[in-house]
Amino acid sequence: MELTAWTYSPAPESRQVVSLRPSYGLFVDGEFVAPRGGGFFPTVNPATEETLAEVALAGPEDVDRAVGAARRAYEGRWGRMRGTERAKYVYRLARLIQERARELAVLETLDNGKPIREARDIDVPLAAAHFFYYAGWADKLEYAGLGPSPRPLGVAGQVVPWNFPLLMAAWKLAPALAAGNTCVLKPAETTPLSALVLAEICQQAELPPGVVNVVTGPGSTGAAVVSHPGVDKVAFTGSTEVGKGIQRALAGTGKRLTLELGGKAANIVFDDAPLDQAVEGIVDGIFFNQGHVCCAGSRLLVQEAVAEAVLDRLKQRVETLRLGDPLDKNTDIGAINSAAQLAKIEELAASGEAEGAERWSPPCAVPERGYWFPPTIFTGVSQSHRIAREEIFGPVLSVLTFRTPAEAVAKANNTPYGLSAGVWTEKGSRAQWVARHLRAGVVWANTFNRFDPASPFGGYQESGFGREGGRHGLEAYLEAGDA
């Protein structure tokens, strides 16, 4: 009998490795404490719509407590600690993340909806790697290129998004702590659990009280962190709209600010590219993490000579993607993070059809409960279409064509964003030429969505400013020393 399709038996990861509390308080001054009048809100599994736990809602008074604890820790033990001692704590956090890796991966999948394979193999290992990397910098700050005696800024207010909750927390906390700052971390409202378990890890690592504080709640909690007069530096990853509001609010305050915002990345495929490899990169670029990626390759620019071949191979590959239970190790596409995000994706996809683009999705069984959207490809897309201009933040790909390298660059740069881009070609000279002319913070050549703690990441234009990762990531948390 001819084998026409692969079938997979379910391979679910056990939930038993996670012991969730019925409710979580705020993490302030080294302890979990009840909110002062803010109450609690539920955090939900987007794949099943079940409530996972109740989480404290921090009000302005709670944020004030957290900032006060961070200030005392900074002016006390942590701010005066030698870099070699700080390094030991940061290294210990990295090791504990590794030791609790399976628990953290399952927790991230439950709270976020992403496939366990991605949380296990990408999010958690990269989070640990960032702490390891910056532990190595803690006693070498004078060699960071910021003068012979750079100084920490003080208290950092850090607001992270829901698409990579643990990893984004690591991106923020690791360089701040290595540089000698203390932190008030505000995780996203829909994905607070991994930050709260990270707070438990801070206790386990015996981090001095107040060095890391975690306040949970909606956007108003984040606004209270950002605007608090006791915060010296603000780091925000999230939507461009909110980032613009933060920049307006902080103008003239003297606070240091870094913003990592939205994107509408172009993934450019030339006619000499290795097409099978490029197709894998296209799939990884837009369908990884359900497209919930600020640097997602959501615009595919294909040279006309190979456009038909690329599209045929791409559709065949997308038909093999498996959508379903995020805890199943066979799953490629998990749940959309929230009902609100699903509604936004559906609205923008509908606009693509209304404006004349052709919509395609593979045959795909969608679970009855939870928030789901099938992998979707639009062809016949014009640069004026909303789906080619606006960040969808979902598994939706817009396909456009080009004839010459100059046209490819012009179309790729026709966006208010500037976070990332990809180039696929066998010619190194062409890849270099295109990369030099693209207005993007990161350009990948013959790959996509590759990250390393030693490599800086950040954008231009409406994708924000400042860099995270690498030596550059320390600059945001240090005051240049005297030469």
Return the active site residues: 260, 294
Spatial neighbors of 92 by CB under 8 A, at least 6 apart, are: 205, 206
Tokens at residue 52, please?
């996972």
How many Å apart are CA 448 and CA 261, to the nearest integer?
A: 18
Note whether 159 and 186 are within 8 A (CB). yes
Buried b (16+ CB within 10 A) or exposed e, 214-229: bbbbeeebbbbbbbbe
DSSP class per residue in 375-386: -EEEES--TTSH
Q: Which residue has the tokens 């046209």?
A: 407
Half-sphere exposure of 406 (CA within 13 A, CB side): 0
Note whether 190 and 267 are within 8 A (CB). no
Helix (H) or strand (E) holding 130: helix 124-137
How many Å apart are CA 114 and CA 266, to the nearest integer?
A: 23
**Whole-Å CA distances, 170 to 94, 129, 146, 185, 198:** 9, 9, 22, 11, 9
Which is nearest to 86 in space by CA: 233, 212, 236, 186?
A: 212
DSSP class per residue in 41-95: EEEE-TTT--EEEEEE---HHHHHHHHHHHHHHIIIIIHHS-HHHHHHHHHHHHH
Note whether 342 and 371 are within 8 A (CB). yes
Phi, psi of 136, deg, nearest 5 = -70, -25
Query: Sign of the CA dihedral 148, 153, 156, 161?
Result: negative
For residue 402, give the amino acid letter: F
